[in-house]
Chain A
């Protein structure tokens, strides 16, 4: 059983996702990095399902549903912001800055 290496892989993928969120300014790429982090967590759930039973698979199912809903709403928000600002650069999206 590959529990340790799978958890390590999931950790590396999650860290790459965090690095992408911190390093990039393009909203769409930041959004893709969030999806990458969700995928890394799904991998952890599947790895532990081998020990604890089918509950992990159900959790992955729900995570995927929420990720799909999040992608739809998030991309609609990006579309609306792009219409308003003509940019997807996070530096130009600072309406909430004090």
Chain B
């Protein structure tokens, strides 16, 4: 399982790098689809099968098809190079370097270490699930109600109001997209 994770992590990083380096927007979009599929596999490895399914359906399916649709509608398939100049490259190297140093320190975090730092648990702690009960409860819930049921119960009870607000957001987005894309207002 760990090997599989590293294979797909390498695939995701490689596809993402190719996505930002490709000259043609169509190939950039297709490499991004490859990144999203690799991420879906990693979601499955992390026991989030429902999230993996909607990752493939919503991101790799709907959103990227929308992107490809617009690229082809605007006839941008064979664009010339649009990389910024050397000054922007230097700025990007500095900013991305600092950001990645900052973020990659997260690599050191294992559940045991996180548990130790949050609760000052004894150093010999080996079973982090003794402190993080939430994950254990969620796993039992998923085992009892199925994978989708384990997500549906909190979504339609604890988070019902945000869920309803999301529907208003989507309605506003539909109206906005139609109005903006219309030829004459």
Interface residues on A, range: 35 or more
Q: Is B47's CB within 8 Å of the partner chain A?
A: yes
Interface of B is mostly: helix
A32 and B82 contacting across the interface, CB-CB below 8 Å: no
B101 to chain A, nearest CB (A): 9
- Given contacts A9-B42, A54-B150, A73-B176, is CB(A26)–CB(B25) below 8 Å? yes
Q: Complex formed: what's the CA distance from A17 to B48 in Å?
A: 23
Contact with B along A74-85 (1 / 0, CB 8 A): 011111101100
CB of B46 within 8 A of CB of A79, answer: no
Contact of B67 among A23, A28, A50, A57 (CB under 8 A): A28
Q: Which residues of A contact B48 (CB under 8 A)?
A: 46, 49, 57, 60
> A31 to B17, alpha carbons, bound, how many Å?
15
Q: Are A6 and B63 in contact (CB under 8 A)?
A: no
Q: Which of B89, B106, B154 contacts A58 (CB 8 A)?
A: B154
- Residues of chain B from 9 to 34 with CB closer than 8 A to chain A in the complex: 9, 12-13, 16-17, 19-20, 25, 28-29, 32
Contact residues in B for A83 (Cβ distance below 8 Å):
183
Cα–Cα, bound, A73→B179 (Å): 10
Complex Cα–Cα for A10 and B45 (A): 15
With known contacts A28-B25, A52-B135, A2–B45 Cβ distance under 8 A: yes
> A39, B134: Cβ atoms under 8 Å?
no
Interface membership of B121, Cβ < 8 A: no
Which residues 2-60 of A have a CB within 8 angstroms of B? 2-20, 22-26, 28-29, 31-33, 35-36, 39, 42-43, 46-47, 49-55, 57-58, 60
- Could you give 16 example pairs across A and B, Cβ below 8 Å? A3-B110, A10-B103, A18-B99, A20-B19, A22-B96, A24-B84, A29-B25, A32-B28, A39-B39, A51-B114, A54-B138, A58-B151, A67-B58, A70-B173, A77-B180, A89-B82
Which A positions have Cβ atoms within 8 angstroms of B?
A: 1-20, 22-26, 28-29, 31-33, 35-36, 39, 42-43, 46-47, 49-55, 57-58, 60-62, 64-73, 75-80, 82-83, 88-89
Which residues on B are within 8 Å of A, measured CB to CB?
A: 2, 5-6, 9, 12-13, 16-17, 19-20, 25, 28-29, 32, 35-36, 39, 42-43, 45-48, 50-51, 54-55, 58-59, 62-63, 66-67, 70-71, 73-74, 76, 79, 82-84, 88-89, 91-92, 95-96, 99-100, 103-104, 106-111, 114, 128, 132, 134-135, 137-138, 141, 150-151, 153-155, 159, 162, 166, 169-170, 172-174, 176-178, 180-181, 183
